[in-house]
Structure 1
Amino acid sequence: MTRPPARTNIAGSSPWEGLVGYSRAVRVGPHVHVAGTTATVLGVAAHPGDPAAQTRVALGIIAGALAQAGAELRHVVRTRIYVTDISQWEAIGRAHGEVFGEIRPAASMVQVSALIDPEHLVEIEADAYVWDESGGP
């Protein structure tokens, strides 16, 4: 019987992780799943009212979680972007494109009625697949 790949939980700094019982990211084998990530810095929503800036901060936090899991942004194969105002799609999309323009993961952007903090305008999830340079997992 084949042993399942090891699981690594990556902790972040979100004030909700312990309360809700989740990890910033989880790596199992070559797969890394990054939880919904907002622009929360030191427990406070960064850049209130600016969805593009919040997108950049959230993507920076995601990049840090990926690095802790032994992955890079180039390994991201899927993002999901949750927004509270879809009319801001272009500003949010451009900020996403600043990071993923050449990588071009599969992506979705959907409007939701609210996020956990009313100051949050954007929340992003990411899935990555880490391969070695020879092409294998």
Structure 2
Amino acid sequence: MSDPHQRAQELTDALRDSGIRITRQRRLLLHIVSRSDDHPDAVELHRRASEEMPGISLSTVYRTLTALEEHGVIQRHQFQNDIARFERADADHHDHMIDLDSGEVVEFHSEQIERLQSELAADAGYEIVAHRMELYVRKIDKDN
């Protein structure tokens, strides 16, 4: 995958090609999301944006996230009992494990799971068009 600056530029170009005006706020959020290796929520994105653009409002962040999501640049994840979190839509396919105690989101990819899902769908007469897998987990206490 390309570096964060290049990813941000590719996302900016894609939005511009779709006829979307690239404001300073949108450009900043594209850069922040492009260099994020976690799944920040809107408040965290606002905090990060405020460090670089003091005075940016939370409502501007929400409006920008909505526009970016509508144009397929970012993905919204609504994990069980959690607020919406965001990540780049151009990331390679992966699934998520969500630690119920810490809230940490761990990305993973398993060819074995992908193969099994395809086999299950095919056996039922279907082809997978898209899917998500979310595992809700807790750390195992190895001392007990």
Please state which structure has a larger fraction of its residues in helix.
2
Of the two, which has the highest radius of gyration? 2
TM-score, structure 1 length as denominator? 0.31
How does the TM-score come out when normalised to structure 2?
A: 0.30
